[in-house]
Every structure is written in C-alpha cells, then in structure tokens.
Amino acid sequence: MDLLNTLVDKGLRRELPTREEALAVLATSDDDVLDVVAAAGKVRRHWFGRRVKLNYLVNLKSGLCPEDCSYCSQRLGSTAGILKYTWLKPDEASKAAAAGLAGGAKRVCLVASGRGPTDRDVDRVAGTIKAIKEQNEGVEVCACLGLLSDGQAERLREAGADAYNHNLNTSESTYGDITTTHTYADRVDTVTKAHAAGLSACSGLIAGMGESDEDLVDVVYSLRELDPDSVPVNFLIPVEGTPLAKEWNLTPQRCLRILAMVRFVCPDVEVRIAGGREVHLRTMQPLALNLANSIFLGDYLTTEGQAGRADLEMIADAGFEVEGAEQVTLPEHRAATAGAGCGSHDGGCGAQESAGCGAHEGSGCGSHEGGGVCGSAPAAAAASAAPLAASAAGEARTDLVAVRRRGAGTDLAPNA
C-alpha cells in the first residue's frame, strides 16, 4: 500500500505526515489492519526496539473532584461507586509505589483528583516524591495534579519530580462538549508550564468519546506541536454513573488504527497505551505492543487492570522485553533535550483523570479511569461466564469493567 510505505519513510525521518495521510490511516478497513500494524511497527522498532516501558499509578487522592469532565468517575456529580479518600501519607504512597517497582515498573505516576494543587498540596507531593526516591534508587517520578499555577512546576522539579502529565484529551473544537469547568487553553498552559520548568512533559488523548476522525487527528497534531516526550492514548471506559456511560464506540481494530496514527504522527516519542486497553483491545492487546512502547502495569486509578503477571507474560509471549531501569527510554536526540535531568526517561504517566495525568481518569493521568478494566478477578470471572461476543462497535462490554477495591486507599495488597 503506497500510503503505508510513505508513512514508514516519513516516520523514520521524523517527518510530519499530512492531515490527509493521518485521516487515511483511520479510514483503512479491518481487512488492512494487520498491514497498518506492520507498517507502524517498523517505525516503533526503529526508535524503540522491542522494549516496553512499564509505568505504575498511585492514586494519592481519589474522588470528590469539583471538575465536570464527562469521562471521569471522580467528576462532580458522579454516582460511580469508586473509592473515595483524601491524601495518602508519604509512607503509604511510597509503599504503594514499591509494589509496582517490584513488578518491573521504572516510573511511578503520582495522581490526585482535583482542579489543581494548592501550594500546600505541592508540599505534600514533594514529601511523597522524597520518600519514594529515598527508598527506590533510580526511580522516575511523574506527577499529575491538574492545572498548575505559576511557580508550581518549578517547585515540583526542585522536589525531585522528573515529569508532569496533563492530557489534552480531545480536540479544541469539541473540548467544551466534554468539560465546562476549565478550558482547552488551560490544559495547554499547564503542559507549557511543565516544559518550561524543565520537567519532561506528558500529554495525551482519550478516544471513544463520540469524536470524529478529524477530532482525533486535530488533537494528535496539537500534541505534536506541544512536543511532549510521552503521549498516553486512552480508550474511553464508559463508567456507569458518568455522562458517557453509554458511549461504546470502539472495536479492537479501531483502537489499533488510532495507535498507528499516533505513532506515525509522533514517531519518536513514548506512545503509551493507557486506560481502556483491556476493555477495548481485549485479546488483541499483544498486537498493540507493535505500535506503543509503554503501558501501565496492574490497576488504574479507580478501576482494576489486567493482572500484573498477565501483563508481563503478554510482553514476553509477544516477543518484547521489559525496559530496564538502566535503559534510556527516548532516542538519543530526544533524551538529550527531555526535561532537565530527564535524559534517562521519557515523560508522562497516562491515566485519564480530572487532574489530567494520562490514564483517563478523573485526574487525567493517562490511564483513563473511572471505568474498569478486565483481567482482574471479578472482571475476568464475569468475562469467563459470559458468552463470546463479537467486536462490533456499540456493544457494551460492562462485564470487563471492575471498580478498584485494592491497593492505594485500601488495606488490600495492590495488583502489580
């Protein structure tokens, strides 16, 4: 296919595809999806080899957010039955982080729901970063606390944060349909502040909220212009109790095309599969590793993820390897200019949250939460009892959604 050959050549040269080419990737048929994956996989392997970076989320403060992000289980007015708790103490957060690091993660993403941190909140997080770094040599720490005020990014950097995540989520033209309590420009401003402070910037999107192909291309081109080191791609988990609970628009093939388009537009950045991979990619998750070079290990912010051991087995069975702490994530030309002191890591967590991290959640981290994910005991059990279902868009797979009831904020061991 001439289109794919052209996109591979451009990706190897870091040349921006045309909008028409990006839209054409999304418009390819299911019959061509393996060709699309193979082409984008050449670009992924050129810049990142067969390494997969593991990231681990710690939800420092869950629920009760004053923002109205429609995708989020922690939003104002949400009736989702998620865990609700105030700030974890530094030793509690460090203990939670240690579980993920023991499971193979090299980056810890600290997420808190809310519009943005107060100066006192920044002090709290600074203490948590110190505790984690004192007990885990070489760990990378990304913060995702929402909209930043002047000087806060610098204070986080001084406290030892390596990166900051805040997702754009969707295109500027449709942003007001998703959130009304802050603006698209507010989000751009926070990513810019993080960049300017020397933090490795992480910013991504959420797919499946009813957006058009043009919206997806718009937000990815905006991300390329912002030039984050890390781009988390969330797939909406429609959570009961949120306005988007009925938006089941994705198929595994659609998700693969979206990831391929992101890789072609952002060839040399860390592309992270964040929230929703277990729900929407399902058994095709291993194929997605040919497109993305980063995932979250274990659970997300308010929902359960695939078992940590299953994540590691999936990576190995697909012929990939877990990226070691001593390995540099970014290509040399990017690592040299990533956030000050961030040469050995990319930036970004990935958990859709109201804070904006990258795990699509109430905070926005990059693992779009609020909805659950499969692979957990309750979700997997439900899935095994249910009849096999076709992967048609619009089919609700609520059997694959489970609210997190373990790990941070509970007395139960985390999934890592």
By annotation, the residues acting in catalysis are 65, 69, 72, 109, 142, 202, 272
Contact predicate 348/270, CB 8 Å = yes
Q: How many CB atoms lie within 10 A of CB 162?
A: 27
Structure token pair of residue 99: 């579980």
Cα torsion 38, 212, 233, 37 to 10°: value is: 0
Instruction: Please give the Cα distance from 39 to 292 (Å, whole number).
Output: 13
Q: What are phi and psi of 23, to 5 degrees?
A: -65, -35
Instruction: Please give the Cα distance from 295 to 292 (Å, whole number).
Output: 8
DSSP secondary structure letter of residue 320: -
Instruction: Please give the Cα distance from 344 to 327 (Å, whole number).
Output: 7
Q: Which residue has the tokens 């203990």?
A: 95
Planar angle of CA 247, 18, 295, nearest 5 degrees: 50
Instruction: Please give the Cα distance from 389 to 99 (Å, whole number).
Output: 34
